[in-house]
Copies of this chain bind each other. A is one copy, B any other.
Amino acid sequence: MKSYKIIIADDHKMFLDGLLSILKGKPEYTIILTANTGKNIAKYLDINNADEPVDLVITDVNMPDMNGIELNKHIKTYHKKVKTLVVSMLHDAQTIQTLTQDQVDGYVPKNAEKEELLKAIESILNGDKYFSQSIKDVYLKGMFSNEQNLMNSLSKREREVLKLIAQELTTQEIADELFLSKHTIESYRKNLISKLEVRNLAGLTKYAIKMGLVED
């Protein structure tokens, strides 16, 4: 009888225990490796996957060293036949979008029932994709949200200026930084305020933070 080879990456030990206890009772699945960072998984695959192909990697998003997003990208670049399932508590549209663009095979939130997790694993090993309803909801909501649309309507230069504004630089300093005229930066600021429908610098700053252009 064939048993699928599965690898799990999660830096939450207790969660790992939970996953293991769920999959322990299933002889059709063999956990061949667990790790608390993507780096070890990537290394393992680079060395061993050619000889002993892995069927599925289950991974968290937030991990030290190499997170789930990078791990997924690595796998889909260098080990295309290995399926990936993300299990995470994070639900921001940006992350989900990045993962789907990188050909992730599934995404299940950590608060899902174990039945759903098993269903996801089964589907993916069957060659299908599996995304929980809540993930699809977040994704769609994110894609059609004002913020995202507005963000996409900004040019690269505008984003750059916005970032520097939120970093507390004055117009003159931004101009120096980008080797542009002060007037140019003023134009960008104006356009940003107009495009993003905010009232002033405070609004721009909040927006930049929301979009993750600056920390805090």
Whether B203 pairs with A168 at a CB distance below 8 angstroms is: yes
In-complex Cβ contact of A18 among B18, B117, B201 (8 A): B18
Whether B12 pairs with A19 at a CB distance below 8 angstroms is: no
Write out the residue numbers on chain B whose beta carbons fall within 8 Å of the beta carbon of A17.
18, 21-22, 114
Write out the residue numbers on chain B whose beta carbons fall within 8 Å of the beta carbon of A205.
201-202, 205-206
Write out the residue numbers on chain B whose beta carbons fall within 8 Å of the beta carbon of A112.
13-14
- Which residues of A from 39 to 79 have beta carbons under 8 Å from B? none
In-complex Cβ contact of A11 among B111, B202, B209 (8 A): B111
The CA of A112 and the CA of B14, in the complex, are separated in Å by 7
Question: A166 in the interface, Cβ–Cβ < 8 Å?
Answer: yes
Write out the residue numbers on chain B whose beta carbons fall within 8 Å of the beta carbon of A19.
14, 18
The CA of A13 and the CA of B108, in the complex, are separated in Å by 12
In-complex Cβ contact of A200 among B15, B36, B201, B216 (8 A): B201
Min Cβ gap A36→B in Å is 8
Write out the residue numbers on chain B whose beta carbons fall within 8 Å of the beta carbon of A15.
12, 14-15, 18, 110
Quick one: closest B residue to A206, CB to CB? B216
Write out the residue numbers on chain B whose beta carbons fall within 8 Å of the beta carbon of A204.
202
Can you offer 12 A-B residue contacts whose CB atoms are under 8 A?
A11-B111, A12-B89, A14-B19, A14-B110, A15-B110, A17-B21, A17-B22, A21-B21, A165-B202, A170-B199, A206-B209, A209-B216
